[in-house]
């Protein structure tokens, strides 16, 4: 099993209606789903979930990025993670 910082990555995109806030490799992400947080690592099982309101945390090789998201959905398939949010800002 991978652990955050192990070096295995997946591609993550964070997109709002106004702009693409981030696209690149990540080692770990915590997504605020409608019914609780979801932790995502390399080789996560396929998933689609509604987003709630809260902090999206992304671990990259060079540090941690934080975004505030509200509404939308997240899709995980084949090490591609797409976060499409109705409202998203970098925090």
Whole-structure pTM value: 0.91
pLDDT digits over 21-53, tens only? 999 999 999 999 999 999 999 999 999 999 999
> Is the alpha carbon torsion for 35, 40, 43, 48 positive or negative?
positive
Place of tokens 């997504």: 31
The pLDDT assigned to 7 comes to 76
Looking from the CA of 66 toward its CB, the CA atoms found within 13 Å total: 3
Q: What are the structural domains of the chain?
A: 29-90 (2.60.15.10)
Q: What is the 3-state secondary structure (H, E, C) of the chain?
A: CCCCCCCCCEEEEEECCCCEEEEEEECEEEEEECCEEEEECCCCCCEEEEECEEEEEEEECCEEEEEEEEEEEEEEECCEEEEEEEEEEEC
């Amino acid at each position: 099993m991978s652990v955050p910082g192990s070096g295995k990555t997946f591609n993550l995109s964070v997109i709002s209606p106004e702009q693409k806030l981030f696209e690149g490799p990540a080692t770990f992400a915590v997504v605020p789903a409608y019914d609780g947080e979801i932790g995502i690592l390399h080789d996560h099982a396929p998933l689609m979930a509604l987003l709630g309101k809260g902090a999206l945390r992304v671990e990259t090789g060079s540090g941690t990025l934080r975004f505030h998201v509200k509404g939308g959905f997240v899709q995980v398939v084949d090490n591609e993670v797409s976060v499409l949010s109705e409202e998203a800002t970098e925090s």
